[in-house]
Amino acid sequence: MQDTEAAIVMNRAGDDVAFGLENRGVPADQIWARVDEALAAVGFPDGRDARTDALSGGEQQRLAIAGILALRPGLLLLDEVTANLDPAGVALVCDVLATVLTATGSTAVLVEHRVEQVVDLVDRAVVLEPGGGIVADGPPAEVFGRHGDALAARGVWVPGRHPVVRRTARAPAGPPLVRAEAVRLRYPGATRDALPPTDLTLRSGQAIAVTGPNGAGKSSLALTCAGLLRPTSGTVGAAGPLAGRAAGRPLWGWPARELARAVGTVFQDPEHQFVARSVREELALGPRLTGADDASAAARVDELLERLGLAALADANPFTLSGGEKRRLSVATAIATAPAVVVADEPTFGQDALTWAALADLLADLRDDGCALALVTHDRALVDAVTDNELELS
């Protein structure tokens, strides 16, 4: 499924992979061997006993894939199967799928934006028309060779072609706004740290990429630096122009309204931050809660709707949007209050080439206007296009 969390039904990783086998009536003495085989095939790092509610997004993705591979199906339907995986994970999953398809003769249907990552797996490429219909259908070399220019203009990620994002000549980074020093995080009941002691300084006018393999603690670092998680040890404090706010308390102790004015957060799962009944109401909520008048809030909402291609969806319920539309809305809600700091977890997943470029341009504009950005991402194109420095967690 596009939403990996929706595919996970058990508390332990091994039980989750075994769930389908048990429902299929596979003999009990065969189940655990097939579970271990599937977990190993996708490079799942933590074994059968890992708690599924403590997994990173990429680890959840690997577990979901293991759950279907263990069934040895004749048909695999994979929706954005590589979306939250690190580069090694993408390569591993593609290798596993290639082996499975060759060995079993199974059929696979892959829904993908980043075609380049999976094009070697497929025999046929079908390009869908927005609203219904087919633009192109045939062998990948023919589809992308003959129609490459037209498809790229429509926003398709054509292999070998990448959107161009404007990079401006920027002044040196400004003063620090958030300092995280030796922050360590261990979730309740866990047997190991989700984040080992780590330092990170976010400066005005600077974009930092936080990269690394699935499970390295990137999302935990992001939520801690955004003031949404209290670290197990270490400190996260405001600095520079933000230092005098909230009586000098650590960032996790700020009142919600004060924190929302200073820090915008894009969660890894967009649905975790939606609370309103329409896209327009969702975007207006932050500005109104932080004191904007109705006219100013409406102008900001209209600007973001137009810029991120959401105007036609203004009255839609946020939970009815596609995965890519939800991601753009989550970015828009995080920046609607014009915060000094933006912490964004996988801000570009699920996008076609045109909407990706719009998001990358928006993030670059925020950086150029003096915002401090921390971008947790596996998207190397985004790292190259927008960020100034990279913190790689191991």
Note the pLDDT tens digit of each residue in 182-216: 999 998 878 889 999 999 999 999 999 999 988 89
**Which regions of 186-297 does DSSP assign to beta strands (E)?**
195-203, 207-211, 233-238, 263-266
| pLDDT tens digits along 328-360 | 999 999 999 999 999 999 999 889 999 999 999
Gyration radius of the chain's alpha carbons: 22
- Residue-wise burial string across 147-159, b where 16 or more C-beta atoms lie within 10 A, e elsewhere: beeebbebbbbbb
- In the chain, the domains with their CATH numbers are 4-122 (3.40.50.300), 176-392 (3.40.50.300)
Q: What is the pLDDT of residue 180?
A: 97
Q: What is the pLDDT of residue 170?
A: 66
Q: What is the pLDDT of residue 168?
A: 63
The residues, ordered by sequence, that sit 6+ positions from 216 with a Cβ below 8 Å of its Cβ are 393, 394
Amino acid 96 reads V
Q: What is the pLDDT of residue 172?
A: 84
CA distances from 365 to 110, 116, 123, 268, 376 (A): 34, 28, 40, 22, 18
pLDDT tens for the chain, residues 1 to 394: 877 888 899 999 999 999 999 999 999 999 999 999 999 988 888 889 999 988 887 888 889 989 999 999 999 999 988 877 788 888 888 888 888 888 888 899 999 988 888 898 899 999 998 888 999 999 999 999 999 999 999 889 999 888 877 666 567 889 999 999 999 999 887 888 999 999 999 999 999 999 998 889 999 999 999 999 999 999 999 999 999 888 889 999 999 989 989 999 999 889 889 999 999 999 999 999 888 899 999 999 999 999 999 999 999 999 999 989 999 999 999 999 999 999 999 999 889 999 999 999 999 999 999 999 999 999 998 999 999 999 999 8
Q: SS3 of 209, please? A: strand
